[in-house]
Amino acid sequence: MAENPDKILNPEFGFKYTDLFDTHKLKDLHSAFLSYFEKADNEKYNEFKRYADSGGEGFTSLDISKTLIDSAPFLSSFIGKLFRIEAQLDKLFYETKYENDVLVFKKDFVQKEIWKKYKSAEPGNFDWDALSSFVNTLKEIAYNDYDFNKDEEKYTAKFVLELAELEKNYRWFYEGDKFAPENFEIPAKIKSRAEEIISSLKSKNLLTDAPDLDNLREILQQVKDWLFVKFFKDKNTKKWVSYFDPKKTDYDHLVEYSSPSPDIMDNPEDHFRQRDGFKLNDFPRTERQLLNQVDYCMYCHEREKDSCSKGLTDRMGTLQTNPLGNKLHGCPLEEKISEAHILRKEGLPLAAFSLIMIDNPMCPGTGHRICNFCMKGCIFQTL
């Protein structure tokens, strides 16, 4: 049975569902939001009010972005309370935070320590069995509380990031580093954790009596080799966003195809999709894959370079054209894509959505990817 519409809204605000279709009541609802915002954060509210009252007069585009990014979370929480969807918003928030280890691991470790440094390495030159055995022992003795069966990528990210942190602290202390604070000391918690891991591995004859920094380096080296070879050996990692390695767009080879005979071009089998009416036939993205794209963004509005929204120009301000002759003018509606990405990354999808709706109020109706001018205009001309 359909839900009684009058039960959808939180009665605390004094609105009925039918009020949402009444322009006068919508004005009252807007005032209710403003009072909510004012009570929640007076400073941010005043800035928003100054912007709204001036119609943006005297605000730079950066000021506007900042004001909107600061305000949107309050709209999100207001809507969450009004529609009683706070639990769902909280769930999305915590799901986003859960993915953080994987995204940090991808950016700070896999991209810098694996893809850059193993560029010319050959997976066949490593002893995969020995590496796997070392890492399995390490996991058993130091990370047996991590549920690798449930989410191997997440817990791999966590343990590798911890090892990198231990090694960094020892390196800063023994060798110094431009980022190390003056008179840096290894925190007691880090020291005891490092000593625990080193002594357990020594007891299994997997490390020598070398200094602790050397042993930490040795552990990390084995883990790096293992991560590099794992990408080629373990087909499950094909789904890992940690190994995401974008490729430059090749305009002469935009689509993968095979030619079973000279007059036939065929889609690769794993890309084949049946068209069923007007239904979307994209492969559904996981939360992690979606956040990977958001994380890849450079939030260019901060440098006024968000070409996805404003168009890709050269230094003289001339609009660029791609090799297919498409003008890279970015989003025809100038949606606030970069700003929305910042909020989505923070785990606030409704706040992000509200920024998109400023320029594209019909977004809920038009849905996903009605055009791809933003993708074409992005600073990353990648696939």
Q: What whole-number distance in Å separates Cα of residue 139 and Cα of residue 141?
A: 6
Secondary structure class of 231 (helix, strand, coil): helix
**Is 338 within 8 Å of 299 (Cβ atoms)?**
yes
Pick between residue 198 and residue 297 the one whose CB is nearest to ligand SF4: 297
Pick between residue 167 and residue 339 the one whose CB is nearest to ligand SF4: 339
Q: What angle do CA 246, 251, 254 make, to 5 degrees?
A: 70
- Cα 327 to its chain centre, rounded Å, is 28
What's the closest the beta carbon of residue 375 comes to ligand SF4, in angstroms?
8
Pick between residue 300 and residue 343 the one whose CB is nearest to ligand SF4: 300
End-to-end CA distance of the chain: 45
What's the closest the beta carbon of residue 74 comes to ligand SF4, in angstroms?
23
What is the number of the residue whose Cβ is closest to ligand SF4?
308
- The DSSP code for 280 is -
What's the closest the beta carbon of residue 300 comes to ligand SF4, in angstroms?
3
Pick between residue 220 and residue 297 the one whose CB is nearest to ligand SF4: 297
Pick between residue 36 and residue 380 the one whose CB is nearest to ligand SF4: 380
What's the closest the beta carbon of residue 337 comes to ligand SF4, in angstroms?
5
Q: Which class for 25: exposed (0-12), middle (13-18), buried (19 or more C-beta within 10 A)? A: middle
**Is 378 within 8 Å of 329 (Cβ atoms)?**
no
Kindly report the number of other CB atoms within 10 A of residue 152's CB atom: 16
What's the closest the beta carbon of residue 310 comes to ligand SF4, in angstroms?
9
- 86: tokens are 């706070």
Pick between residue 80 and residue 311 the one whose CB is nearest to ligand SF4: 311
What's the closest the beta carbon of residue 64 comes to ligand SF4, in angstroms?
15
Nearest to 155 by CA among 165, 145, 170: 145
Pick between residue 80 and residue 377 the one whose CB is nearest to ligand SF4: 377
Torsions phi, psi for 173 (to 5 deg): -70, -45
Nearest to 224 by CA among 121, 75, 154: 121
Which residues contribute to the site for ligand SF4 (CB under 6 A)?
297-300, 306-308, 337-338, 341, 378-380
What's the closest the beta carbon of residue 72 comes to ligand SF4, in angstroms?
16
